Chains A and B, each alone.
Chain A
Amino acid sequence: MKSISLYEEKHSFLNGLSPETKLLYVIVAIAVPVILGGRIPFFAFIAMSITLLAGSGVLRNTKTIVAVSGFILITVVIIQTFFRGGTFTELFRIGPLVARKEGFEYSLGIVLNVLNIIFCFCVFVLTTKPSDMMQEMVKHGISPRLGYVFVSLFQIIPQMTEHTSTITDAQRSRGMETEGSLATRIKAFLPLISPVIMNSFTDTRERSIALEVRGFSSTSKKSFLEDFVPSSADSGMRIALIVLFCASVAFTVLRVMGVIAWLR
């Protein structure tokens, strides 16, 4: 059985930062461009996230999610550029299709927002050990049981996926077609989904007993085998992020009050 984990154990800049700091980064990276407005803050944070990921050697792990969302984003760009309604300024033509400036700019805004969110989340998820995430949560008062449910999903979902292929094999072995037309695939849905769900119930039931007999419901104060020790850069990074956030709020307030002119 292979375990599939997004997290890689390594010594890197991002791995050395505490989960709190990285979560703060996510919040700042999403909020600041929205507060400041315009395209440049988005580009800046995307570039910052990519640099951090590359510097910590995990940029290649973003390939899949970027490819999948990239595909969707390209679709959005095409649809908005060529089919957005309302008045428009023509950019160029391909046959009967007219590329519209307004549509393109609108879709660009969406693309930047989505990519920013994806990359800053990757900064957090790809470099934080699930159990450290849980440790943070428990230290801040979240129930350890909830913490367990969150963390275990990282391993249990891949296990369920593996199991699904066994179930598919079992039904195909009884003559059920799984490939072909949409109608065929829909017909195959119930014989596949039902065992998946039933197995999950049975497995979850057994697992909850196994957890119970290892003190899952215990009310004692928890201890941790490994305490996460953040690197020396951690507090510096945290201060920098808070300063950045406050500065951008201040900047925006001053601009709105007309103190600073901002040329768009």
Chain B
Amino acid sequence: MAEIVINNLRYRYPETARLALDGISCEIHQGEFIGIIGRNGAGKSTLSQAMLGLVPNFYHGAYGGSVTVDGINVKEDTVDDLCQKVGLVFQNPFNQVTGSKLTVYDEIAYGLENFGVAPDEMRRRIDSAMELLDISQLKDRAPYDLSGGQMQRMALAGIIVMEPEVIVMDEPTSQLDPQGSEEVFRAVSALKDEGKTIIMVEHKIEKIAAYSDRVMLLDDGKLVAMGTPKAVFSRDDLAEHGVVAPTYTQICRKLGIRDREGFYPVTLEETRSLLESDMKGGLAG
């Protein structure tokens, strides 16, 4: 059964002339990892916020079509109801700190307090989330005293304790250094292993290629393509849409080396084995 169904979604921010989202339709299934790519201004952030009804319930503006999460139309529900099904983490780790708590542990509890969860249950969930994201050792630190990567993982913990089925992440590593980035991707990998549905907007194209089950390419508010990373990155029109394929894909395209299905590889491993075969001269396709 599909988890999120988007049907001809159209949206325009208040007092603007352009459609930020222009007729997007797709289905996202439980447990999938969806990567969203596209140039700046393509509508990626808007789409990620539409998944939990911030568009249109928070921003208002003109809205058409529908987004249903587990059968519920987001337009007809409230954000505080939906945020228990769909969590959102975004770019700036600092602005996701509530500022009202003195320790990391209390900070993570914030959402649970808002929903009246019992203290024992809160503690159980927080401990488990901190364990999963490898931040248990930070529990007594002050929230603003953390590094970017630690802060972002704390933000993620604050979301997963509310036990959403879907987690949307909007460029979560763009303001982090390489180590912070690595920490966040490791955390995301752990969540993927737990069976969560993950939707990630990213510019780090090699990461998207490695983690995603399917990739959505947006441009000018429209969904240009949706398919496996190989299928999308093997397209000829990526440059037109302001996107560049992973380095490995670019290399194989220039060398004309495809895999058995006729696509170019998108990960290091695949590329390595294809190139080794090709060099030996025994390559099919």
How many A-B contacts are there with CB distance less than 8 Å? 124
B80 in contact (CB, < 8 A): yes
Q: Which of B102, B106, B115, B145 has the most CB of A within 10 A?
A: B102
**Which chain B residues border A221 with CB–CB below 8 Å?**
116
A58 in contact (CB, < 8 A): no
**Which chain A residues border B79 with CB–CB below 8 Å?**
212-213, 217
Choose the segment among A113-121, A168-176, A222-230, A234-242 that binds chain B (4+ C-beta atoms closer than 8 Å): A222-230
Besides A213-B54, A217-B80, A223-B122, 4 other A-B contacts (C-beta < 8 A): A213-B79, A218-B114, A224-B119, A225-B109
Tell whether, in the assembled complex, residue B144 and residue A214 are in contact, meaning their CB atoms are under 8 Å apart.
Answer: no
**Which chain B residues border A131 with CB–CB below 8 Å?**
100-102, 106
**Which chain B residues border A151 with CB–CB below 8 Å?**
99-100
**Which chain B residues border A130 with CB–CB below 8 Å?**
100, 102
A90 in contact (CB, < 8 A): no
Partner of B96, one of A5, A210, A216, A222: A210
Partner of B78, one of A129, A211, A217, A223: A217
- Closest beta carbon of chain B to A207's beta carbon, Å: 5
Tell whether, in the assembled complex, residue A214 and residue B159 are in contact, meaning their CB atoms are under 8 Å apart.
Answer: yes
Tell whether, in the assembled complex, residue A159 and residue B144 are in contact, meaning their CB atoms are under 8 Å apart.
Answer: yes
**Which chain A residues border B84 with CB–CB below 8 Å?**
215
B residues at A contact (CB < 8 Å): 49, 52, 54, 58, 78-80, 83-84, 87-88, 90, 92, 94-96, 98-102, 105-106, 109-119, 122-123, 142-146, 155, 158-159, 162
Q: In the assembly, what is the distance between CA of A151 and CA of B162, in Å?
A: 23
Q: In the assembly, what is the distance between CA of A152 and CA of B143, in Å?
A: 12
Partner of A203, one of B95, B112, B118: B95
**Which chain B residues border A103 with CB–CB below 8 Å?**
none
Q: In the assembly, what is the distance between CA of A200 and CA of B227, in Å?
A: 40
Closest to B58 in A: A212
Tell whether, in the assembled complex, residue A1 and residue B144 are in contact, meaning their CB atoms are under 8 Å apart.
Answer: yes
Count residues of chain A with CB under 8 A from any CB of chain B: 40
Known: A131-B101, A218-B114, A220-B114. A212 touches B145 (CB 8 A): no
Contact with B along A134-156 (1 / 0, CB 8 A): 10000000001000100110111
Tell whether, in the assembled complex, residue B83 and residue A220 are in contact, meaning their CB atoms are under 8 Å apart.
Answer: no
Q: In the assembly, what is the distance between CA of A152 and CA of B94, in Å?
A: 13
**Which chain A residues border B101 with CB–CB below 8 Å?**
131
Partner of B92, one of A156, A206, A213: A206
**Which chain A residues border B114 with CB–CB below 8 Å?**
144, 214-216, 218, 220, 222
A246 in contact (CB, < 8 A): no
Q: In the assembly, what is the distance between CA of A131 and CA of B107, in Å?
A: 11
Q: Which of A134, A216, A221 has the most CB of B within 10 A?
A: A216
Closest to A7 in B: B102
Q: In the assembly, what is the distance between CA of A222 and CA of B80, in Å?
A: 13
- Closest beta carbon of chain B to A135's beta carbon, Å: 10
Tell whether, in the assembled complex, residue B113 and residue A222 are in contact, meaning their CB atoms are under 8 Å apart.
Answer: yes
Tell whether, in the assembled complex, residue B54 and residue A225 are in contact, meaning their CB atoms are under 8 Å apart.
Answer: no
- Closest beta carbon of chain B to A75's beta carbon, Å: 35
Tell whether, in the assembled complex, residue B90 and residue A210 are in contact, meaning their CB atoms are under 8 Å apart.
Answer: yes
Partner of B145, one of A1, A7, A154, A210: A1
Q: Which of A2, A215, A227 has the most CB of B within 10 A?
A: A215
A179 in contact (CB, < 8 A): no
Closest to A203 in B: B95
Tell whether, in the assembled complex, residue A212 and residue B144 are in contact, meaning their CB atoms are under 8 Å apart.
Answer: no
- Closest beta carbon of chain B to A200's beta carbon, Å: 11
**Which chain B residues border A209 with CB–CB below 8 Å?**
49, 54, 58, 88, 90
A3 in contact (CB, < 8 A): yes
Q: In the assembly, what is the distance between CA of A218 and CA of B58, in Å?
A: 14
Q: In the assembly, what is the distance between CA of A131 and CA of B123, in Å?
A: 17
- Closest beta carbon of chain B to A116's beta carbon, Å: 29
Tell whether, in the assembled complex, residue A134 and residue B100 are in contact, meaning their CB atoms are under 8 Å apart.
Answer: yes
Q: In the assembly, what is the distance between CA of A188 and CA of B115, in Å?
A: 46
Q: In the assembly, what is the distance between CA of A9 and CA of B145, in Å?
A: 16
Known: A206-B95, A207-B95. A223 touches B119 (CB 8 A): yes
Tell whether, in the assembled complex, residue B95 and residue A3 are in contact, meaning their CB atoms are under 8 Å apart.
Answer: no
Q: In the assembly, what is the distance between CA of A225 and CA of B100, in Å?
A: 13
What are 18 inter-chain pairs, A to B, with CB distance below 8 A?
Answer: A1-B94, A1-B145, A3-B142, A130-B102, A131-B106, A155-B100, A155-B144, A159-B99, A210-B96, A212-B83, A214-B83, A214-B111, A214-B158, A214-B159, A215-B84, A215-B114, A222-B116, A227-B119
- Closest beta carbon of chain B to A5's beta carbon, Å: 7
